[in-house]
Amino acid sequence: MTGLFLINILLALAWGAVTGSFAEVNLFFGFVLGMLALYIIREQVGSDRYLRRFWLIFVLALTFVYELVLSALRVAAIVLRPKIDLKPGIIAYPLTVDRDFEITMLANLITLTPGTLSVDVSEDRSTLYVHCIDVPDKQATIDDIKNGFERQILEAFR
């Protein structure tokens, strides 16, 4: 995995050397070309997983931006309403991910998504406390996170 990433960077540098330009855009293009090369020889060096992971992280980043826009719009709708009538609450979310950086990532994603804000993690790292700005149905919110971000994180980093 790390090895293939280094090979990909080497390929990008080689592209830079061959074309005689180490400008950022050209190196990035070389990186993409390197990925393409790794894709062509995927059956020989087993780069399938590597490329798939790149793709999943890319999708995760896109989801992140998309959810951020959604949540900003939702906050805007709430704030600009003439009468603010909400049912906020702090719910306990049972974590499936258990590595530190995955929990951090999930907590950050939760904070940037519509109506949720992570407040604390329990001592044993099994529960994430989430503040919801409007939570008529607690289980629906938990299911949303379970089937959305947590699954994506598990797919991208496992």
Partner 1 sequence: MTPIYEIAVGIVLVVGSIFSLIATIGLLRLKDVYMRMHAGSKAGTLGSGLMLIALAVHAGQVDVLTRALAGVVFFLLTAPVAAHLLAKAAYQAGYKPCADTHIDEMADEAS
Residue 115 tokens, joined: 């109506």
Here's the x/- map for partner 1, 14-53, by CB under 8 A: it reads as: ---------xxx----------------------------
C-alpha 125/C-alpha 143 separation (Å) is 19
Is 63 near partner 1 (CB under 8 A)?
no
**Binds partner 1 (CB under 8 A): choice among 10, 36, 45, 119:** 119
For the bound state, the minimum distance from the C-beta of residue 136 to partner 1, rounded and expressed in Å, comes to 9
**Helix segments in the chain, DSSP class H:** 2-19, 24-40, 42-45, 48-80, 100-111, 138-145, 151-157
Sole residue written with tokens 């971000």: 149
Here's the x/- map for partner 1, 66-95, by CB under 8 A: it reads as: --xx-xx--xx-xxx---x-xxxxxxx---
Is 62 near partner 1 (CB under 8 A)?
no
C-alpha 56/C-alpha 98 separation (Å) is 19
**Binds partner 1 (CB under 8 A): choice among 33, 37, 57, 117:** 117
Q: Which of 95, 94, 101, 93 is nearest to 158 (CA)?
A: 101
C-alpha 107/C-alpha 94 separation (Å) is 12
C-alpha 50/C-alpha 39 separation (Å) is 10
C-alpha 60/C-alpha 115 separation (Å) is 19
The smaller minimum CB distance to partner 1, of residues 19 and 108, is found at 108
**Binds partner 1 (CB under 8 A): choice among 8, 47, 118, 152:** 118
C-alpha 64 chain-centroid distance = 6
What number of chain residues touch partner 1 (CB under 8 A)?
A: 38
Residues that bind partner 1 (CB under 8 A): 23-25, 64, 68-69, 71-72, 75-76, 78-80, 84, 86-92, 107-109, 111-112, 115, 117-120, 122, 127, 129, 131, 133, 135, 138
